[in-house]
Every structure is written in C-alpha cells, then in structure tokens.
C-alpha cells in the first residue's frame, strides 16, 4: 500500500490527511497507467479530494502559506489537474492565475494567457510523478523571461526522482510502486488497465 511521509514543516497533521483520503475514496487500487506512461497498482485521484471546498482550501492553503513571502505575481498550472488547486492558491495569495494546456501534444499558453518578462511565477500541480508536465510549464516561464520563484504540489509521488531548478514544496510525499511497460509483473498484468490521467484531453 501507500507510504506517506510526514514532512517536518507540514502544517496539516498526518492523521488528518489520511482521514481526508479515506473520506473521499481518493486512494485507488488496481492497474493504472499514469500520465507519465508508467504502470502502478495504486493511484491517488487528487480530484476526488479537491471537489470539496473545505479540503481544497486546506491543502491549497498549505502551499500558499509556504510561498506567501515569495512575492508571487502569477500562479501557473498545467491543465487539467493543476487548474483547481492553482486557482485556489491564486485566490489565497490574491494574484492572477492562469494555466497551460497541450496543443498537438505540446504544452502551451493559450486563450490569451501569458507571462511578462520579470514577472514572478509560482508553478502549481496537483500530483507530481516524474515531473515532466511541470518541467514543460517551467520552460514556458523561462522562455518568456519571467522569474520562476517556486513549484508547489499537493502530492509528490516521484519517490524523490523529480528534481527542479527552483524551490519545490509538496504538502505530502507518497511512495508508490511504478513499473515501465516492459517490466510489469504478471500479477499486475492480469488486472484490467485503467487510465485515470488527463494528458489525452484536448482543448
């Protein structure tokens, strides 16, 4: 099952987080293909937690508090998972919030969104596995000449593999077993596949 790390600077008690997961049925078991393409017997469906305003405010508020003195001017999230948490963090910090989305498989700023040279940007995601989507969004920030002041997420399930060139903060760390497609054990291969991620969505 999942192993959740209680971070030393965490404002939310570990037992409270576990209770939230249980109440919202956010911890799933089966055979899942993650957005990264990796396979896992477990999946954390963050959207099932964030659909409740009280939990959204609690978890997003923890990230917002962590960056409240970073002079954030814009909160930028990858679609689709990061939009809800990013918007709430922007509301708490009182700053503009935008999102990036894929067009023909490439992460872009669309719908008239943009960041200006020198603007201080906080990138926010709901769940980080490999960090690929976050890296793409961070690249948009640097290419625009803006300043990347930090990266925040609700759940870091990268098992320490996600590394960024900016201050990274997660509300919790969750160790989840993952497999490359060619390394899937027989026991997992026998379970029907689910693809809960959002990368295939097109705007």
Residue 140 has pLDDT above 90, yes or no: yes
Q: What is the DSSP string of the chain?
A: --EEE--TT-SS-HHHHHHHHHHHT-EEEEEEE-TTS-EEEEEE-HHHHHTSHHHHHHHHHHHHHHTTTS---EEEEETTHHHHHHHHHHHHHT-EEEEEEEETTEEE--TT----TT-EEEEEEEEESS-HHHHHHHHHHHHTT-EEEEEEEEEE-STT----SS-EEEEEEEE---B-GGG--HHHHTSPPB----TT---
pLDDT tens across 17-37, in order? 878 988 899 888 899 998 778
Q: Is residue 30 part of a domain?
A: yes
Q: Is residue 200 part of a domain?
A: no
Q: What is the CATH number of the domain that holds 181?
A: 3.40.50.2020
The model carries a pTM of 0.80
Q: Is residue 195 part of a domain?
A: no
Full residue range of the structural domain in which residue 17 is found: 3-189
What pLDDT sits at residue 78? 94
């Amino acid at each position: 099952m999942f192993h959740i790390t209680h971070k030393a600077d965490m404002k939310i008690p570990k037992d409270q987080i576990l209770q939230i997961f249980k109440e919202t049925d956010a911890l799933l078991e089966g055979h899942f293909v993650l957005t990264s393409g990796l396979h896992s017997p477990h999946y954390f469906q963050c959207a099932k937690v964030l659909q409740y305003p009280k939990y959204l405010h609690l978890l997003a508020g923890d990230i917002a508090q962590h960056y409240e003195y970073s002079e954030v001017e814009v909160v930028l999230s990858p679609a689709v998972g990061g939009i809800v948490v990013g918007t709430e963090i922007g509301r708490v910090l009182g700053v503009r919030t935008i999102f990036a989305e894929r067009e023909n498989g490439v992460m872009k700023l669309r719908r008239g969104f943009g960041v200006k040279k020198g603007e201080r940007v906080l990138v926010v995601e709901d769940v980080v596995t490999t960090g690929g989507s976050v890296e793409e969004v961070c690249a948009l920030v640097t290419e625009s000449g803006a300043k990347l002041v930090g990266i925040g997420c609700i759940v870091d399930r990268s098992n320490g593999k996600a590394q960024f060139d900016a201050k990274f903060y997660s509300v919790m760390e969750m160790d989840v077993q993952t497999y490359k497609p060619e390394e899937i054990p027989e026991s997992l291969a026998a379970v029907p596949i689910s693809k809960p991620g959002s990368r295939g969505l097109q705007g």
